[in-house]
Structure 1
Amino acid sequence: MVVKICANQDQLSHELKEQAKKQGFDPVGIARFPGSDRLQLRSAALQRWLKAGHQADMAWMASSQRQQADQLLEGMTSLLAVGLNYFVNVQRAPGKLLVARYAWGRDYHRVIKQRLRRVGRWLEQQRPNCRWKICVDTAPLLDKAWAEEAGLGWIGKHSNLINTQRGSWMVLGHLLCNEPLTPDQPAKSLCGKCQSCLEICPTEAITEPFVIDSRRCLAYHTIENRNPDLPENIVRSLGNWVAGCDICQDVCPWNQQSLPHSNDPDVQPRDWLLKLTRNQALSWSDTTWSEQLRGSALKRIKPWMWRRNAASTQTNKPPTLHNN
């Protein structure tokens, strides 16, 4: 196969984004290091968040690399930011246990890395001396801030990235490189005066716009909390959630519009995730859980945690949202 070589920076940047779109990413954008003043404000906000203890037991959030992206790749000058839409035309079965939408399909970390690796190899063909590195949300990178910088969307008051066409139902990936690329315009915030996400959170985990206290967050406790019992205030508000939480995204006006559904096979839901009952969650053996979660981002939740979370739902009223 003959590869057409891009002659200049603008052409290379345009074609790089086209290559990302061919891999199923949309939106896509480019940012230049060190970024605008707003990125520095995001870094300062992270320090305030850490100082307040909002990270709970997630000590990795304090990594120094999160403040300086060029520590992840020596000589970094640019990055390609990509979004993978996971909003599918499927509804949860009523009355079942609830799992956050992002985890319905294949492990998005693997999906994004595999696809961005193809984009990186294409870039190597264009610029043989180019060095690049792939980052997903397990890397110490301010991923949402850099996606905002690249024009994919803005960070909403619920801390998720929002795109005008796709809402907030997307996971992010980044391709860092030492090749100068033409940046896109950073996104502008369009949340306005809306407070829907703050008002709906059952535990008031969104303590103020853009600030999430993990110690109050249902998603944190169902996925990251390694204690044998969940806090009483979490149990009272858990509803039927056993893995993550979509409440603040469900009510976001940008998710209430008619959104494009993804037909990507990698984000289509595993059938059992939409029909999981409390009895199943409590009775499945560790082996059964391992089999069901093979290749899933939810493998981070250990079998005993699934049983703990499911057991905590018994005293809760059924949720009134989450079937949209």
Structure 2
Amino acid sequence: MTAATINYQELTQKIKLWGKELGFSQVGFSDIDLSSHEKALTTWLAKNYHGDMDYMAKHGLMRARADELVPNTIRVVSARMDYLPSDAKFAQILKNKNKAYISRYALGRDYHKLMRKRLKQLGEKIEQYCQQFNFRPFVDSAPILERPLAEKAGLGWVGKHSLLINEQAGSWFFLGELLVDIPLPVTTKSENQCGSCVSCIKICPTQAIVEPYVVDARKCISYLTIELRESIPEQYRKAIGNRVYGCDDCQLICPWNKFAQLTTQDDFQPRQNLDNTDLLALFSWDEETFLAKTQGSAIRRIGFECWQRNIAVGLGNADFHPEIIRTLEAKLASATVMVAEHINWALRQQKHKQQAQQKNLPFVTENERLSGRLIRSIEKGLPRDA
């Protein structure tokens, strides 16, 4: 069809249908005007809240200007895809300090490739309908403010933890977008429904949500265990607990996640038993095993050294056991300087717990009290089968 004969309102309905067929939970449409977000972005960068994520600052305000990223862009097609597995074992793993907790988005196949492939297929379907049409798909792969765009597209609202919340599906979903050059009618923007709730701010183990809608990444456990390539600052290590890759606490406490939808994608179900594995078992992996076990997983991107660093911290926070001390000491000889630093910290923690046990003294940290509150909340309000 030519541009003059296209019924764009009808086309949006077709795109929504095609999106459903491709496995997307929802599709919406927005213009590209994010000028109202530029001041907040500039302030966030000026305060260095992005930490070592240099790519966040590299492109400056281009993140709020999609037409600078892809010239001639006038609309964004935003899509979301649910990822919550059918048996997430949230409370079961978080309250067992000797197990490894991995953020639930990373238990299955790396979503970047899957989502981008589906978005490309969606773009190709639109291309077949329009004679003149250009598009580019993105999934965490471009300097673009995807959450504000998804909010404008009606997929949800940006919560106080900075993640997108949908009133019918909570927040356990991935986002992706197509930047397009056709004048699709825009969707009504979602209304923010956080109200006076500050549960996510209060529950954050490291107090990384420094004010509503603002996260200091340098304190965030997801940043510390995934993005940071150096030593984890010691003041945050106890708060990390057994979280060896990412953190879901701010989502777990969110009351809107009682409406969370389970994923329909087999690729997002847990692989390699990573949803229920002992820290000691993961620490026994050599690099070859790590690469084999994380093939096709988002976890691989952090590399073996950071993986060992994170697990060493987890072992320091685990319940005392002589086997943990023996294993940590055995790893010291072959560990890198950075990993050895975290092993030595973990050994000190284990020995403190050993002494407390010998004296029959309680060893409960403030973070463990906070985690207890979270676990009780999870057990009261989990989505079905989760």
Which of 190, 195, 199 aligns to 2:198? It is 195
Matches of 1:138 and 1:286, distance apart in 2: 27
Counterpart secondary structure, 1:55:
coil
Which of 52, 56, 60 aligns to 1:61? It is 56
The range that moved more, 183-192 or 56-65, is 56-65
Letter in 1 for 2:44: W
* Contact map agreement 2:208 2:215 (CA 8 A) in 1: yes
Which of 128, 142, 148 aligns to 1:125? It is 128
Flag the structure with more relative contact order, 1 or 2, with Cα contacts below 8 A and sequence separation at least 6. Answer: 1
**Could you tell me the percent identity over the aligned residues?**
38
**Residue deviations 1:261-320 (CA, integer Å, cap 9, x gap):** 123112111142112221122220111111111111111111111111111123326643
* Aligned match of 1:164: 167
Letter in 2 for 1:232: E
Matches of 2:293 and 2:38, distance apart in 1: 38
Q: Give unpaired runs (5+ residues) of structure 1.
A: 1-5
After TM superposition, the runs of 4+ consecutive aligned structure 1 residues lying more than 3 A away are 317-324
**Residue deviations 1:116-160 (CA, integer Å, cap 9, x gap):** 111111111111221100011121110001000101000000010
Counterpart secondary structure, 2:275:
helix
* Contact map agreement 1:281 1:306 (CA 8 A) in 2: no
* Contact map agreement 2:32 2:65 (CA 8 A) in 1: no
Matched, 1:153 2:152: no
* Aligned match of 1:31: 30
* Aligned match of 2:46: 51
* Contact map agreement 2:79 2:175 (CA 8 A) in 1: yes
* Aligned match of 2:294: 293
**Residue deviations 1:4-58 (CA, integer Å, cap 9, x gap):** xx84111112111211111111121001233xxxx32222211110011100000
Which of the pair is proportionally richer in helix?
2
Matches of 2:9 and 2:117, distance apart in 1: 25
Counterpart secondary structure, 1:274:
coil
Matched, 1:276 2:312: no
* Aligned match of 1:262: 263
Which of 250, 253, 278 aligns to 1:248? It is 250
Counterpart secondary structure, 2:161:
coil
Counterpart secondary structure, 1:203:
coil
Letter in 2 for 1:167: G
Q: Give unpaired runs (5+ residues) of structure 2.
A: 319-367
Counterpart secondary structure, 2:174:
strand
Matched, 1:84 2:81: yes
Matches of 1:166 and 1:25, distance apart in 2: 13
**Residue deviations 1:175-220 (CA, integer Å, cap 9, x gap):** 1110110110111100000000000111110000011001111110
Letter in 2 for 1:267: F
The range that moved more, 23-32 or 269-278, is 269-278
Letter in 2 for 1:90: D
Deviation at 1:258, TM superposition (A): 4.1
* Aligned match of 1:73: 70
Matches of 2:180 and 2:289, distance apart in 1: 41
Matches of 2:106 and 2:30, distance apart in 1: 28
Matches of 2:261 and 2:36, distance apart in 1: 32
Matches of 1:266 and 1:27, distance apart in 2: 18
Matches of 1:97 and 1:43, distance apart in 2: 38
* Aligned match of 2:328: none
Deviation at 1:171, TM superposition (A): 0.8
User: Please, what TM-score do these two structures have when normalized by structure 1?
Assistant: 0.93
User: Please, what TM-score do these two structures have when normalized by structure 2?
Assistant: 0.78
Letter in 2 for 1:243: Y
* Contact map agreement 1:120 1:132 (CA 8 A) in 2: yes
The range that moved more, 6-15 or 138-147, is 6-15
Counterpart secondary structure, 1:315:
helix
Matches of 1:42 and 1:269, distance apart in 2: 36
Counterpart secondary structure, 1:312:
helix
* Aligned match of 1:18: 17
**Residue deviations 1:34-84 (CA, integer Å, cap 9, x gap):** 3xxxx3222221111001110000011121321311122211111110001
Matches of 2:240 and 2:38, distance apart in 1: 31
Return the index of the structure with the highest Cα Rg: 2
Counterpart secondary structure, 2:273:
helix
Aligned residue pairs total 313
| Alignment RMSD (CA, Å) | 1.6
* Aligned match of 1:312: 313
Matches of 1:226 and 1:271, distance apart in 2: 25
Which of 211, 216, 226 aligns to 2:214? It is 211
**Residue deviations 1:221-253 (CA, integer Å, cap 9, x gap):** 1001111x3111110201100000001110001
* Aligned match of 1:3: none
Matches of 1:152 and 1:242, distance apart in 2: 30
